[in-house]
Structure 1
């Protein structure tokens, strides 16, 4: 199977963002019993242990990188693992999963601006239209289809922390364009998880305590495993694979699938009712993703003088 085909890349990006949507619910479970730093540390220790043997089997001796490349991998670990997850887990202690997922909509805007500035990527009107459609869908879901609810939404410290997390994720996406030129997505995320796990564990040491097995619920254990394997190991590899083949600004639009997935899992797991605004918002989100990533028509791609000759 050719994993460089666009339709396969889109499926992998969808799986990644769906997992991240579910991670809001899983994260809420985890921080209910664990300190945010302990939850983050546990997540990436396990993720690293899952990824390392896969990396060794797939790339062998090529897993060793030179010292001059470590700063780039460290940047990936610091932005996408350490800072993002400290803000993510701490933010979830003070805000709801759906409220936090609203802020994810700002991700494509941050990434588009950063990619146009740092990577000199072209951000077209069509792309911005896709971003706006997706954001409209997110707002529709979170506000329950009510303008009054949206206007009265007050952001708390948890919202601010998650906003900063999303900004760091945009930087992480930009870093991925540079690491993708030198390393495989698997190597990049394995190193990032390893570096992140070390830093997070050092920060979490004061908060670790000896826990009896019966003190930790099955939901919390499952949440950490899900966060480590599905929402970290697999999803990050899928995400970096997409960044390697597509413009960072285009990949970022898929972040708007996260709040839709968060809404769906909140309904299934937390027992919330499915309403019309979930369906309408979801439609807008996917329409936005499609608009930003669809190819231009063959006619519009041709220079103006060529179109005039053909029409004459």
Structure 2
């Protein structure tokens, strides 16, 4: 159990520093190029754990699996993580780190629309509290040019939630590690295909004329040298690969519910790291917004904690009210795909 909490701490620190690392090293790479490289490296790091898990399940892939990973890879890597990377261009790393953690609330909504799960009172209350937190962080009276970054971050959180719910439909077949690993791998390959398209003359000119040079003639390996390679490996191996690896190891050593502590450590730790490393100030409204988003996320996970407590009570002889199975199922398993 102690080892499990160590994994939680390591995962939380790595996830909490990812926005800072991406923002700090962004000047060396095109943001789309950086997303492609880091998820490709992350997939390679997760591959050994993934293969081990698939062997335990005696699971082999077919065309149906490849099409599923193509879908999850496109939603998670190509759409969500590009939005996330672009958000870092327009907003402080601490703000992006906090807002991306609002995705458990959107998971509950997509679970209702896609999986036909009932929307309960705690879900609605969680959504209201989290949206209030986003508005407080936005601070409408003093936006200071960060609206675009905030919108991009919320869209990234929404699409991560969509990926989580779609992934949930098949996560039992693959396991969380394999689902994440092959989502990263297929998403990276899809992103590589799109990068190659942007290098075609008329496509490159089209994006340049639209005022979107970041999508024009995107490099693949350009910028990688002895000076930038260590930073790229840190982002790909540590922030992305090992961050997820420690997270899944934490679930194995403890439980999915206990591992979900990462959800609550990151919003609190990321702004502190941003203050210490890149000297981003933590405003009063940021603190209040963080507390509201933490509260909203906690409310969304309460049924899962109740289910875990009820399970534990069987071994102690204590009896607790049985939670609604429809309430607890997504909350327990949503942690297979944590936010960045």
Which moves more between the two structures, 272-281 or 61-70?
A: 272-281
Look up the SS of the partner of 1:121 in the other structure: coil
Could you say if the C-alpha distance between residues 268 and 284 of structure 1 is closer, same or farther in structure 2, counting changes exceeding 3 Å?
same
Aligned match of 2:306: 295
Look up the SS of the partner of 1:72 in the other structure: helix
1:178 to 135, 159, 169: 169
Describe how 1:1-312 pairs up with structure 2 within 5 A.
19-60=14-55, 62=58, 64-101=60-97, 103-104=99-100, 107-134=103-130, 136=132, 142=137, 149-153=139-143, 155-205=146-196, 206=199, 207-211=219-223, 213-216=225-228, 218-219=230-231, 221-235=233-247, 237=248, 258-272=266-280, 283-292=291-300, 293=302, 294-295=305-306
Aligned partners of 1:283, 1:209: CA distance in 2, in Å? 41
How many residues were matched structurally?
Answer: 283
Q: CA deviation at 1:102?
A: 5.3
Q: CA deviation at 1:26?
A: 1.6
Contact 2:69-2:182 within 8 A present in 1 as well = yes
Render the CA deviation track for 1:46-101: whole Å, top value 9, x for unaligned.
11211222333443394531212322222221111221122121221222223334
Aligned partners of 1:119, 1:91: CA distance in 2, in Å? 29
Which moves more between the two structures, 264-273 or 30-39?
A: 264-273
Contact 1:73-1:191 within 8 A present in 2 as well = yes
Q: CA deviation at 1:43?
A: 0.6
RMSD: 4.0
Q: CA deviation at 1:203?
A: 3.0
Render the CA deviation track for 1:261-292: whole Å, top value 9, x for unaligned.
32122123223466766666555554444443
Structure 2 gap ranges (5+):
200-218, 311-318, 324-340
Aligned match of 1:308: none
Q: CA deviation at 1:195?
A: 0.5
Contact 1:104-1:256 within 8 A present in 2 as well = no
Contact 1:33-1:220 within 8 A present in 2 as well = no
Q: CA deviation at 1:164?
A: 2.5
Q: CA deviation at 1:115?
A: 0.9
Q: CA deviation at 1:173?
A: 0.8
Render the CA deviation track for 1:121-177: whole Å, top value 9, x for unaligned.
23322343344445555665x36xxxxx44332554333333322221111111121
Structure 1 gap ranges (5+):
2-7, 144-148, 303-312
TM-score by length of 2: 0.66
Contact 2:45-2:242 within 8 A present in 1 as well = no
Contact 1:30-1:224 within 8 A present in 2 as well = no
Aligned match of 1:310: none
Render the CA deviation track for 1:16-69: whole Å, top value 9, x for unaligned.
566433221122123221011211111122112112223334433945312123
TM-score by length of 1: 0.71
Look up the SS of the partner of 2:87 in the other structure: helix
Contact 1:91-1:157 within 8 A present in 2 as well = yes
Aligned partners of 1:265, 1:101: CA distance in 2, in Å? 11
Could you say if the C-alpha distance between residues 110 and 276 of structure 1 is closer, same or farther in structure 2, counting changes exceeding 3 Å?
closer
